[in-house]
Amino acid sequence: MDRRRIILIVFCILMVTGALISALNRQRASEEPAHRRTDIPTSHFTPRQRPVSAHNPARAYSDAIANAIDKVMPSVVVIRTQNLTLKRERVALDPFGIYQGYRNIEEHNKGEGSGVIIDEVGHVLTSWHVIENAVGGEVVLNDGTRMSAVVVGHDVATDLAVLKIKDAGSDCPAVEFGDSDRVRVGEVAIAIGSPFSLQRTATVGYVSSKGRKVDILPYEDFIQTDAAINEGNSGGPLVDVDGRMIGINTAKKTDDQQKGVGIAFAVPSNLAMVVAKSIIETGKHEWPWIGVTFKNKDQVYRDEMYGGTGAYIDQVWNDTPASRAELVPGTSVLAVDGRKVESVEDIERIIFSKSVGDTVRFTLEYEEGQFDVELPLEKFPGSLFN
pLDDT of amino acid 170: 86
- Given a cut of 90, is residue 116 above it in pLDDT? yes
Per-residue pLDDT, averaged over 127-134, amounts to: 89
- The pLDDT of residue 245 is 97
Number of H-type helices and E-type strands within the chain: 7, 22
Main-chain phi, psi angles of 80, to 5 degrees: -110, 130
Give me the pLDDT at residue 290, please.
Answer: 95
Lowest-pLDDT range of 110-114, 180-184, 285-289, 359-363: 110-114
Q: What per-residue confidence (pLDDT) applies to 258?
A: 47
Would you state the pLDDT for residue 187? 96
Q: What CATH number has the domain spanning 70-89+100-165?
A: 2.40.10.10
Nearest one of 202, 164, 209 to 186, comparing CA atoms: 209
Backbone angles phi, psi at 68, to 5 degrees: -65, -40
Overall fold of domain 288-379: Pdz3 Domain (2.30.42)
Q: Where are the alpha helices (H) located in 184-241, listed in sequence order?
A: none
Residue 299 has pLDDT above 50, yes or no: yes
Bridge partners of 161, per DSSP, are 126, 154
Which of 282, 220, 283, 293 is CA-nearest to residue 253? 220
- 182-220 CB burial, b ≥16 within 10 A, e <16: ebeeeebbbbbbbbeeebebbbbbebbebeeeeeebebb
Quick one: pLDDT at residue 361?
Answer: 96
Q: Rounded CA gap, 290 and 81, in Å?
A: 39
Per-residue pLDDT tens over the stretch 51-94: 766 778 888 899 999 999 999 999 999 999 876 666 666 666 65
Flag whether pLDDT at 366 surpasses 60. yes
Determine the angle formed by the axes of helices 344-352 and 269-282, rounding to 10 degrees. 40
Query: Regarding predicted confidence, which is higher, 382 or 162?
Result: 162
d(CA 294, CA 297): 10
* Domain assignments of the chain as residue spans, ordered by start: 70-89+100-165, 176-282, 288-379
Predicted local confidence at residue 244, as pLDDT: 97
Q: What is the mean pLDDT of the chain?
A: 83
Which phi and psi angles does 236 have, rounded to 5°?
A: -80, 165
Q: CB of 377 within 8 A of CB of 358? A: yes
With bands split at pLDDT 50, 70 and 90, how would you rate the model's confidence at 369?
confident
Name the nearest CA neighbour of 292 among 362, 383, 370. 362
Give pLDDT, residue 21: 72
Angle at the Cα of 157 from the Cα atoms of 203 and 341, rounded to 5 degrees: 85
Res 12 pLDDT > 90: no
Burial of 140 (0-12, 13-18, 19+ CB in 10 A): middle
**Does residue 305 register a pLDDT over 60?**
no
The whole-number average pLDDT for the span 229-238 is 89
Percent of all residues in the chain with a pLDDT value above 90, rounded to a whole number: 53
**Is 176-282 CATH 1.10.150.120?**
no
Which residues lie below 8 Å from residue 264, measured CB to CB, with a gap of 6+? 191, 224, 225, 226, 227, 228, 229, 233, 249, 251, 252, 253
Compute how many other C-beta atoms are within 10 angstroms of the C-beta atom of residue 104: 10
**Residue 31 pLDDT > 60:** no
Q: Where are the beta strands (DSSP E) in 98-242?
A: 100-117, 123-127, 134-140, 146-147, 149-155, 160-165, 176-177, 188-193, 201-212, 222-225, 237-239
What pTM, to 2 d.p., does this model score?
Answer: 0.76
Does 176-282 match 70-89+100-165 at the fold level?
yes
- pLDDT given for residue 292 in this prediction: 94
d(CA 149, CA 281): 17
- pLDDT of 134 reads 79
Residues taking part in catalysis: 129, 159, 234
Q: How confident is the model at residue 309 (pLDDT cuts 50, 70, 90)?
A: confident
Is 1 a residue whose pLDDT tops 70?
Answer: no
Q: What is the mean pLDDT of residues 193-198?
A: 83
Q: Rounded mean pLDDT of 235-259?
A: 81
- The confidence score (pLDDT) of residue 257 equals 44
60-64: long-range contacts, CB 8 A cutoff, minimum separation 24: 64/241
Question: What's the pLDDT score for residue 37?
Answer: 52
- 332-364, pLDDT tens digit by residue? 899 999 999 889 999 999 999 999 999 999 999
Residues 6+ apart with CB under 8 A from 148: 138, 139, 165, 166, 167
Q: What does the pLDDT average to over 273-302?
A: 88
Range 216-235 average pLDDT: 90
Segment 298-305 shows an average pLDDT of 63
Question: What pLDDT, on the 0 to 100 scale, is given for residue 356?
Answer: 92
